[in-house]
Structure 1
Amino acid sequence: MLTTTESRSDASLPARASGPVSHRPGSFRGDIEGLRAVAVLLVLLGHAGVPRLPGGFVGVDVFFVISGFLITGLLLQEHDRRGRISLTGFYARRAKRLLPAAATVLLATLALTWFFLPRTRWSATAWDVVASAGYAMNWRMAAESLDYATVGQAPSILQHFWSLAVEEQFYLVWPLVMILLGWVARRLRRGRDGLLLLGLGSIALPSFGWALATSPTDPSAYYVTTTRLWELAVGAAVAVAAARPRGVPRAVAATLAWAGLVAIGASAALIDTPSGFPGYAALGPTLGAAAVVGLGSVAGRAGPALLLGLPPLRAVGTISYSLYLWHWPLLIAARAYLGDLDVGPALAVVGASFLPAVLTYRYVENPLRRSAALSRRPFAALRLGVACTVGAVLSGLLFQLLVVPGTPATVGSAVPLRAPADPAAPAPSSSWGAAALGSSPRDSPAGVPVDRVDSITPDPLRVGSDVPAAYQRCIVDQATATAKRCVFGDPSGRTTVALVGDSHAYHWLPALDPAAKRNHWRIVLYAKATCPFVEATVIFAGRPYETCTRWNASVRAALRGPDRPDLLLTSNAGYLVVENGRPATTTMGLSPKLRQTWRGMVDAGVPVVVLRDGPHHERNIAECVAENRKRLTRCASPRARLASGGGPAQEQAAEGLAGVHLIDLTDAICPADRCAPVIGGVLVYSDDNHVSATYMATMEPRLEAALRPLVPAR
């Protein structure tokens, strides 16, 4: 994204209004520079939370088109001038243009992380630096978007590098394809441009088809290269088509180009969620940008160049690459240090990012881009790029190894839940975790928040590895619609209990599994990330969650089949549901749908037990504890002010419903008027809404006592 100003030579002048195409030697398109400014400003304002621009992220799509157009135009220009394309020269230009600025920001981001981000994010940031330096951040983001444990977590301080990764992966391949198609054209004595357009079509059509197929249901589709290639290919196709004689009347070109600019703005104003991108909704900004860059030179001053060529916009477009690199790390650091920012303060931070952007452009980008020595010696430019990449990777690794304290080797590694995760912590006892509360949690002094405790297990820096991998691999991601069945407890037990729901059902497993082993219950788990067990369509990321609806149907069929359980155990967080084709206004709309679902299971001969959802905090408790080990009361939230998650809807749905029982163990999770972050030496929450696996394991006796009378004996 925002990858190049190489489309002009330093001595060139702007092309005349009706002048030649953009890849003509010496040509410069001021309107494209201004379009860069529009794109980056949309991204910045969208990230700052400006209410009227919820779809500011479409600036990324605009950048992909601009990049495909300019880079392909440069390669065509070189081929026309020299009869060949130099891969060494191409990659050398990109190395000196992109990598030094990127490495500068990556190193600065490590410093921002050290000073401003909670320690719980240090390890992830270090790996993000490695992935970003290697231009693989989009695949890392895609993997994390499917990991239920990362849902609701603070965004990565380097999240924006995903789009740069997509571009560079495209440009590892596209110049090679151009060279191959040029060779084929010479052998067949056919026109080069026709073959290039055919090649681009063979890239764009499958990519767009894949985007349409996956983006409505798969959150990783937003980041992966395969769903984004078509946008770059559209820009490249415009560059190839621009080499042909133009027959579009100027008035028509101006009308279409202005319509393209309006389409970009309308997309930013009307699209309110990235869910479903880059599918049909991405056509607006993509084709809009294609119209502006493809027809702008024909339209001349009658087209968007009248606006986009203004000096202020061109100035912003000039520094757009550095501006894009800097704004997001500064915004995330400010939010981590100051808390959630209103639009005004967020805009101030975004405005402040212009200063390092200008400095980076002036003292890093420009000197290297214009270096005569590096231009004469492309291998020297390549060595510079390798040095920047290796230096950034090593910095991330050294930060991980030397700075990040107590970081586990992998997230999701098995941790014994009936013993402390920290070997230095005391062994389990009657005062361990929820056991410290005794028989009357609301009256127990162990539940009152204190500033200091002797030890905290799991360590908040390692809370991500607090759940055994055997549990984690059984919860299916957002893209999966088929029920996955895992067995716990006593596999040969005669009594079968089905645990069904989202991660708020799943997080009871550390307490249920050992209780089931002792009572010879067979536990069958069906769990899907951010998907409650309900016969309705819920809303996720602003859109109907269709894979959740299909997963629910699959689970209901399994529960009513030959392996019908003796008891259904379920829980869930709060969700909006679709009512009469529109999202409900509150999570209480979930209540009648839950009631309907549970009644259906009871009618099928399966009694239902609902585990009431616990309170949701306003902050990430593990992060707060990591930063306030000697002032833990700062992390104690007033019980009366906490969001109640799915609890109220569950209570209302279960009231008076025969065959349905509600178990409420909230008092053992938040026993006092202010919820203690650590009870009995155990960290209670792993984030702002999930109980930590270790603390849940200490809930085993309470869950067993409440559940045993309700489990049918066989």
Structure 2
Amino acid sequence: MIREDPLVDGEERVLMGFLRIRSWRLVALALVTFTTLVGTPGVGSAHQGSSQGTTLPGFASVAQVLTSVRAATRETHFPPSITPSFSVLESGAAFGDQSLVHSACRQPIAPRWSSIAHCTFGDTSARTTVALVGDSRARMYLDAMNTLGKLEHFRVVYLALSACPTALGDFATNLGVPVATPWALCNTFHTFTLHAVNRLRPTLTLVMSDNEIWLTKPFHQAAPAEVVTDMEKYYNGFSDKQRTLVFVNYPQPGEVHTPDLCLSKLPSNIQQCSFVPSAKVTANDTAQRTAAQRARVGIVDERAWYCASTCPAIVHGTVVYTPDSYHTTYAYTMYLLGALWARIAPYLR
């Protein structure tokens, strides 16, 4: 368990190794920079947002999202127009990370305090802080969280490394295609994020991550039992589990289907582009949920935001998945903004 006590002995050496700073004078300078740009760690205040309760004016409610998803599983005709368009999907601009692309937050985030200071979004002057932790699943929600933070007056501290799921294990390098070489950055990154979150003490921590883990010693894809073990170890590292929410049950189509490719063929019945998650995806989703339950952190089940009897490719005129079939489009994360707010608002009141 990572502690919040003043750093002593081994803990001091670990943090110093992450920071790569050789004197306490430079540590102080780094923390001053972090405090100036991100705010004082551990300082919170009553959330002052624009919404009433858990309803976000101008955005679909949870009930409306669920109704739209159910309706989408019965729709057969292509809608008159879709968002994003095929041209936007093809250009790669449908991913919800433009606030990151146009920021000073360097990618990948180096495991040191000074790098975190530049990775702050939403209402950066707010005293309420939400830590967004994970891999590219966190990145795909960043623009939506940036918008939500500005609307509801909380800042978002972004701590994510693409292709590096939130687990503690001996990760294999995965920069699109996993290889047997140990991935040093991934192996240290999430340990650092635990230190960072526990020092920052945010009002709420959101963990959004894939559960497909590639390990070395030997090189292999983790079985569900290993997913449980390694993810549980990570979740147990958070000092405030009551204010940690893990997002689970994302219906990744990539194992069995490519919805956007199907849509591009303009099928006469768009239900041909719907899918049901594979047995492998379901097994890993169950493992991730089990890990969260064992660690006694909060859980947000995403499945109903995407699927009913099947998982449609278009909901409410919005294309749900990016062309890689592993992520959600920015447009659909924005459609989910009200549902997302309904889940996190109680923790920010």
Fold shared, TM-score > 0.5 on shorter chain: yes
Distance 1:663 1:475 in 2: 28
- The answer to whether the Cα contact below 8 Å between 1:575 and 1:646 also exists between their aligned partners in 2 is yes
Letter in 2 for 1:513: N
| 2:11 matched residue in structure 1 | none
| 1:451 matched residue in structure 2 | 77
- The answer to whether the Cα contact below 8 Å between 1:568 and 1:606 also exists between their aligned partners in 2 is no
Distance 1:576 1:438 in 2: 34
- The answer to whether the Cα contact below 8 Å between 2:139 and 2:162 also exists between their aligned partners in 1 is no
- Cα 1:468–1:569, aligned 2, differ >3 Å: closer, same or farther? closer
| 2:99 matched residue in structure 1 | 470
Q: Which ranges in structure 1 are unaligned for 5 or more consecutive residues? A: 1-428
- Asked if residue 522 in structure 1 is aligned to residue 155 in structure 2, the reply is yes
- The answer to whether the Cα contact below 8 Å between 1:575 and 1:587 also exists between their aligned partners in 2 is no
What secondary structure sits across from 2:333 in the alignment?
A: helix
Alpha-carbon deviation of 1:628?
2.0
What secondary structure sits across from 2:239 in the alignment?
A: helix
What secondary structure sits across from 2:246 in the alignment?
A: strand
What secondary structure sits across from 1:444 in the alignment?
A: helix
| 1:260 matched residue in structure 2 | none
Q: Deviations over 1:305-345 (max 9, x none)?
A: xxxxxxxxxxxxxxxxxxxxxxxxxxxxxxxxxxxxxxxxx
Distance 1:518 1:628 in 2: 37
- The answer to whether the Cα contact below 8 Å between 1:684 and 1:692 also exists between their aligned partners in 2 is yes
Residue correspondence of structure 1 range 123-522 to structure 2 within 5 A: 438=64, 440-441=66-67, 444-463=70-89, 464-466=92-94, 467=96, 469-472=98-101, 474=105, 476-477=107-108, 482=111, 484-485=115-116, 486-522=119-155
- Asked if residue 538 in structure 1 is aligned to residue 181 in structure 2, the reply is no
| 2:330 matched residue in structure 1 | 693
- Asked if residue 598 in structure 1 is aligned to residue 227 in structure 2, the reply is no
Q: Which ranges in structure 2 are unaligned for 5 or more consecutive residues? A: 1-56
Letter in 1 for 2:186: C
What secondary structure sits across from 2:188 in the alignment?
A: helix
Using the aligned pairs only, state the percent identity.
23
| 2:246 matched residue in structure 1 | 610
| 1:703 matched residue in structure 2 | 340
Letter in 1 for 2:295: L
Pick aligned residue for 1:559 from 197, 200, 212 = 197
What secondary structure sits across from 2:238 in the alignment?
A: helix
What secondary structure sits across from 1:601 in the alignment?
A: coil
Alpha-carbon deviation of 1:640?
6.6
Q: Deviations over 1:25-60 (max 9, x none)?
A: xxxxxxxxxxxxxxxxxxxxxxxxxxxxxxxxxxxx
- Cα 1:669–1:443, aligned 2, differ >3 Å: closer, same or farther? closer
- The answer to whether the Cα contact below 8 Å between 2:276 and 2:311 also exists between their aligned partners in 1 is yes
Structure having the higher Rg: 1
Alpha-carbon deviation of 1:645?
8.1
What secondary structure sits across from 1:525 in the alignment?
A: strand
Distance 1:627 1:505 in 2: 30
Distance 1:556 1:656 in 2: 18
Alpha-carbon deviation of 1:524?
0.3
**Greater fraction strand:** 2
Alpha-carbon deviation of 1:616?
1.4
Report the TM-score, using the length of structure 1 for normalisation: 0.35
What secondary structure sits across from 2:124 in the alignment?
A: coil
- Cα 1:475–1:505, aligned 2, differ >3 Å: closer, same or farther? farther
| 2:7 matched residue in structure 1 | none
| 1:58 matched residue in structure 2 | none
Alpha-carbon deviation of 1:453?
1.0
Q: Deviations over 1:401-446 (max 9, x none)?
A: xxxxxxxxxxxxxxxxxxxxxxxxxxxx98x9x7697264498324
- Indicate the structure whose relative CO is greater, using CA pairs within 8 Å and at least 6 residues apart: 2
Alpha-carbon deviation of 1:667?
0.9
RMSD: 3.1
- The answer to whether the Cα contact below 8 Å between 1:501 and 1:532 also exists between their aligned partners in 2 is yes
- The answer to whether the Cα contact below 8 Å between 2:99 and 2:142 also exists between their aligned partners in 1 is no
| 1:589 matched residue in structure 2 | 226
Letter in 2 for 1:667: A
- The answer to whether the Cα contact below 8 Å between 2:194 and 2:237 also exists between their aligned partners in 1 is no
What secondary structure sits across from 1:542 in the alignment?
A: strand
Distance 2:249 2:78 in 1: 28
- The answer to whether the Cα contact below 8 Å between 1:449 and 1:675 also exists between their aligned partners in 2 is no
- Cα 1:465–1:629, aligned 2, differ >3 Å: closer, same or farther? farther
- The answer to whether the Cα contact below 8 Å between 2:97 and 2:140 also exists between their aligned partners in 1 is no
- The answer to whether the Cα contact below 8 Å between 2:207 and 2:247 also exists between their aligned partners in 1 is yes
Distance 1:520 1:564 in 2: 17
- The answer to whether the Cα contact below 8 Å between 1:475 and 1:527 also exists between their aligned partners in 2 is no
- The answer to whether the Cα contact below 8 Å between 2:170 and 2:217 also exists between their aligned partners in 1 is no
| 2:8 matched residue in structure 1 | none
